[in-house]
Amino acid sequence: MISLTGLVLLYLFIPLLINYLCFTSVFLRKVGAVVLAYGFGLLIGNIGLIPESSHTMLELISNKSIVLTTKYVRELYAAGTITENDVRYFQVYHLQDLLTTLSIAIALPLLLFSLDVKRWFKVAGRTFLSMILGLVSVIIPILIGFFLFKNQIHDSWKVAGMMTGVYSGGTPNLASIQKALDVDTLTYILTHTYDLIIGVLFLLFVMTIGQKVLLRFLPPYKKSENVLNEVEFDANPAPGRLFFDSVKRQYFLPNLAAIGLTLLIVGVSAGIGMLFNQKSQMMVTILGITTFSILASLIKKVNRIEKTFDYGMYFILIFSVVVASMADFRLFSTSHIQIFYWVALVYAGSLIIHVALAALFKIDADNVIIVSTALTCSPPFVPVVAGALHNREIIISGITVGIIGYAIGNYLGIMLAQILSYLYF
C-alpha cells in the first residue's frame, strides 16, 4: 500500500504524465486525456495501493449523521471497533474527498473565466427542452427497473428514490435521500459504487465514440461564427503545440492571478454555503462558485487571460483520476447484482430514450450528450465532457442544467419513492 504523501504526488503527477503521453503518441491523443485519467484512476483503486475497509467502516462513512474525525476514528480503533486497515482506509477516503472537492472548486472558475456568457441565451430554450426530455428519459427506465426488480431488491422503492435523486441531481442528492428514506447503508454504498462503475463506462462512451454515434440520429451542434478568445480549446495537445506551453512566463503569471481570483471566489462561495443547513451547503457553494465565475468572465481583463481553460483542465484531470480511483470493484457483490443491472438499465435506457425524443424535436447531439452528462453524472463532469467534445460553448448550459438538477433532485426522488411505496407493499 502507498503512503498518503505518495498518493497525493501520484494524483498530481499522473495528469502531467497524461499530457506528455498525449503529446508524444498519436494513438493516445486520439484516445483522449480524460479517458486516460479514468483508466489510471481505476488502476490505482483496484491493484492494492488503497487499503480495503471492513463493512463497519463503510457504514460509518456512509452514515451522514455521524461526523467522522481522525480523533474519533482512532478512538474506535483503540476500542477494537475497527481495524488498523480501516484507519488507513479512512485516511485515504478523507484525502480523496478533499482532493475531489478542491480540484473541482478550483477547476470550475478557471474553465468559466474565458466563456462568453451571452452565447448561452442563444441556446437556453433548446437546452431547457433537452433538460425536460432528459428528466423524462431518466424516470422511465427507473420505473421500468422498479417493476422488474421490486420483488428481488429489498426496499426497491427507496432505491428508485435514490436513483431519481442522483440521476436528476448528483451524489449530494443520493446521500440526502438515503437519510430521508432511511435506506440500508450497504444498499446505499453498493448503489453508489455501481453508479461509479457504470458512470465511468458511460463517460468513456460519450467522450470517445458517443458523438459520432449520436450524429447518425441527431443534427450537429451549430457553433457561433466568432471563435472564443480566437482559440479553440483542445483537450489533447496537437502535434505542433509545444508541450507545457501553458507554463511559459507570458501565460503563467496571468494565470497565477486567475488562480488567486479563483480562491477568492471559492472562499466567498463556501462562506455563503455555510450560512445554510448541511444538506444545502454543497448545492449553494457550487451555485455560488458558478455564479461568481460567470460574473467574473464579464470582466474583460479576466475574460482575456489566455490558457485559463488549460489550467482548469489540469485540475479536471486530477479530479478524474481521484474519482475513478474511488470506484472499488471489491464491493461488487453478486448478492446485490440486481442493483447493478438496474443502474446499467438507467444509464443505457435514459440515453436511448433521450436520443429518440431529441430526434423528434431536432435537438443537436452535443446538447443531448451534455444534458445527459449533467443529469446522470452531475455538474463537475460537464467541463470534462465538453473538453472531449471540443465544444466550450455548452459548458454553461450543462452546468446550469446540473445546478437545476441539484435543486430539484431531492424533491423528485422523495416524491417518486413515496408514490412507488404504495405499489411495493
- CATH of residue 173's domain is 1.20.1530
- Domain annotation covers residue 100: yes
Residue whose C-alpha cell reads 504526488 in the numeric block: 9
Give the C-alpha separation, 251 to 16, whole Å: 17
CA distances from 304 to 146, 234, 251, 311, 396 (A): 50, 17, 11, 14, 18
Q: How many CA atoms lie within 13 A of 78 on its CB side?
A: 6
Give the C-alpha separation, 26 to 21, whole Å: 9
- Domain annotation covers residue 227: no
- Domain annotation covers residue 108: yes
Residue whose C-alpha cell reads 428514490 in the numeric block: 161
CA distances from 46 to 49, 185, 215, 328 (A): 7, 22, 35, 6
Question: How many domains would you assign to the chain?
Answer: 1
* pTM of the model as a whole: 0.69
- Cα angle, residue 345 at apex, residues 342 and 347 outer, rounded to 5°: 115
3-state secondary structure the chain: CCCHHHHHHHHHHHHHHHHHHHHHCHHHHHHCHHHHHHHHHHHHHCCCCCCCCCHHHHHHHHCCCCCCCHHHHHHHHHCCCCCHHHHHHHHHHHHHHHHHHHHHHHHHHHHHCCCCHHHHHHHHHHHHHHHHHHHHHHHHHHHHHHHHHCCCCCCHHHHHHHHHHHHHCCHHHHHHHHHHHCCCHHHHHHHHHHHHHHHHHHHHHHHCCHHHHHCCCCCCCCCCCCCHHHCCCCCCCCCCCCCCHHHCHHHHHHHHHHHHHHHHHHHHHHHHHCCCCHHHHHHHHHHHHHHHHHHHHCCHHHHCCCCHHHHHHHHHHHHHHHHHHCCCHHHCCHHHHHHHHHHHHHHHHHHHHHHHHHHHHCCCHHHHHHHHHHHHHCHHHHHHHHHHHCCHHHHHHHHHHHHHHHHHHHHHHHHHHHHHHHHHC
- Domain annotation covers residue 236: no
- Domain annotation covers residue 228: no
Which pLDDT belongs to residue 231?
36
Range of the domain at 184: 4-216+249-424
- Domain annotation covers residue 316: yes
CA neighbor of 321 nearest in space, from 2, 32, 5, 12? 12
- Domain annotation covers residue 99: yes
Q: Quick one: angle between helices 185-207 and 33-45, nearest 10? A: 150
Which pLDDT belongs to residue 344?
94
Question: Mean of the per-residue pLDDT values for the chain?
Answer: 83
CA neighbor of 196 nearest in space, from 60, 383, 298, 325? 325
Ranges under pLDDT 70 in the chain: 30, 62-65, 116-124, 172, 185-186, 224-244, 279, 283, 328-335, 424-425
Give the C-alpha separation, 263 to 131, whole Å: 31
